[in-house]
Structure 1
Amino acid sequence: MKIVRTKSDLRGLTRGWRAAGETIGVVPTMGALHEGHLSLVSAACEQADRVIVTLFVNPKQFNNPEDLAKYPRTEESDARKLDPFDVDVFYVPEATEIYPEGFATNISVNGVSDGLCGANRPGHFDGVATVVTKLLVQTDADFAFFGEKDFQQVQVVRRVVEDLDLGCEIVGCPTVREASGLALSSRNLRLDDAARQKASAIYAALTDATAMITAGQQVSNVLDQTRDKLVKHGLGPIDYLELRREHDLALTEDTRDPARLFVAVWLDGVRLIDNVIVRDT
């Protein structure tokens, strides 16, 4: 695995792969790699001839400077975690490679970015859409792999790729969880053992709610009961707990639609998100 820090060096490699007729898969990350990220790397290695993992802590998707400052930077340990995989390049660009002096372009996606985290984190998905577009262009990827824990992010990126004709397939991969059910996240590193135990109630509550909805109970009543459960377990405040259609993330109470139940909840100053399928495609 080569560690590459400039887009010119990266393009020198990707041009050769293209000339050989090889496909390219990319796993965009902000580092602090965990088993969820590594499951994406494994999927990329299975599907693409060449694999690039990127590490860039994107300042444009943080609307809280303190959150950006606290975000873990663990490049050396991340590189070691990639060693067992057939990764060709670990792309770790400096900020100037992504946002050079005078950079003045912003990619904004309407619709799928408007609710959920988009409503609570103004500008967040503009930052995501902009940096992912840059990374897809720089890596010349055929496939890009994203975890479905951030399902809204997956749908935002899919919209960008389709609208801008980027020619890259966005592959959503299932959420990886701890034994307790807590969705793996780099933010979990900021939780102590007691908080992690409390956080396990999130997935349990979503699972119970899904069972009640599919059994025919009224969605609004189920959501009220689920909010109460989360609060009783010491979780909160709750930014959102909503049932939304998969394809456009519109609010719904029609359980005939392919839909997911989404939640964002705070615990000890850490914002945790999760979602579960209520009805699949």
Structure 2
Amino acid sequence: MRIVVCVKYVPDATGDRHFAEDLTTDREAVDGLLSELDEYAVEQALQIADAADDAEVTVLTVGPEDAKDALRKALSMGADKAVHVEDDALHGTDVMGTSLVLAKAVEETGYDLVVCGMASTDGTMGVLPAILAERLGVPQVTLLSEVAVADGKVTGRRDGDAASEQLEASLPAVVSVTDQSGEARYPSFKGIMAAKKKKVESLDLSDLGIDEEQVGLAGAWTKVEEAAPRPPRTAGTIVTDEGEGAKQLAEYLAAQKFI
């Protein structure tokens, strides 16, 4: 069974993130890492592979040179090989362009099951798995907290606020898993050393037969029109309790429309 996990290299959420001059995310000014939500996807793919008689896990990302760090993290967790799509023309690509590139790369790699995280920790749109499934022309089973593969089908449980659903689809298929699907494993020292020897295949747009006009800022369906820096924090309001503290606090919260 061929399992492909789509992962993303994202800016560290603890860093000072901001936009560049062209109103795209400035990825040079902050450290990046494998999206935490994609670690759950890698973990579930590895568990499915462990339960199968013959399975191979490939991690796939679209991004700049530094995105290889995300692939190395996934490889050190136990994935077998990696594919990196890198091209200068991809700068500014939105979810529509990214889904196109991923679909072409997945087809090029070969797959029976594609596993994604529930969303990326930078864009947090959460729609890529569904769009990817549409481009591939296969079923989607998304937002799973449990997932398993057997007898040519993928099955899983989707938990909602009021109920849980049991879902299934025939392979090939695309699934996404939530952060409730199980804690992602930590790479061992042996895994980290082994990752250095694992294959990372590099592809560009010409390898995938994609025109530059279909991606990047020019091909984006969405874009940021305007952005302003977050205003600096100001001194808070101090309420001195001289018998009227609770009333003053309630009035302040009401004025700020918190209550």
The reply to whether TM is greater than 0.5 is no
> TM-score per shorter chain, which class?
0.3 to 0.5
Higher helix share: 1
Q: Please report the TM-score for the alignment, with normalisation by the length of structure 2.
A: 0.38
Indicate the structure (1 or 2) with the bigger Cα radius of gyration.
2
